[in-house]
Amino acid sequence: MSQVVLITGASSGIGKASALLLTERGYIVYAGTRTPEKFDTDTKNLHVIQLDITDNKSIQRAVIDIHKEQGRIDVLVNNAGYGLVSTVEDVSEEEMFNQFNVNVFGVFRVCKEVIPLMRENNSGVIINISSFLGKIGLPLLTFYNASKYAVEGITDSLRYELKDFNIRVHSIMPGFFSTNFAKDNLVTNAATFDEASPYAHLVSNLAPNIVEQINKGNDASEAAELMLKIIEDEGALARETVGDKARQFIPMRRELSDEDFERRVREYYRLNE
Instruction: Delimit the domains of the chain by residue range.
Output: 4-268
pLDDT at 141 over 90: yes
Report the pLDDT value the prediction gives residue 217, as an integer from 0 to 100: 76
State pLDDT tens for residues 170-227. Answer: 999 998 876 565 556 789 999 999 999 999 999 999 988 888 887 777 888 999 999 9
Report the pLDDT value the prediction gives residue 210, as an integer from 0 to 100: 86
End-to-end CA distance of the chain: 58
Active site residues: 11, 130, 144, 148
Report the pLDDT value the prediction gives residue 261, as an integer from 0 to 100: 95
State pLDDT tens for residues 45-92. Answer: 999 999 999 999 999 999 999 999 999 999 999 999 999 999 999 999
Report the pLDDT value the prediction gives residue 182, as an integer from 0 to 100: 52
Q: What is the pTM for the complete model shown?
A: 0.94
- Residue 140 confidence class, pLDDT cut points 50, 70, 90: very high
Euclidean distance between CA atoms 269 and 61, whole angstroms: 44
Pairing of the two strands 46-50 and 28-33: parallel
DSSP one-letter string for 22-46? HHHTT-EEEEEES-GGG-----TTE
Domain 4-268: CATH architecture, name and number where available: 3-Layer(aba) Sandwich (3.40)
3-state secondary structure of 84: strand
Residue 202 CB partners (closer than 8 Å, separation 6+): 139, 140, 271
- Residue 124 confidence class, pLDDT cut points 50, 70, 90: very high
DSSP state of 158: H
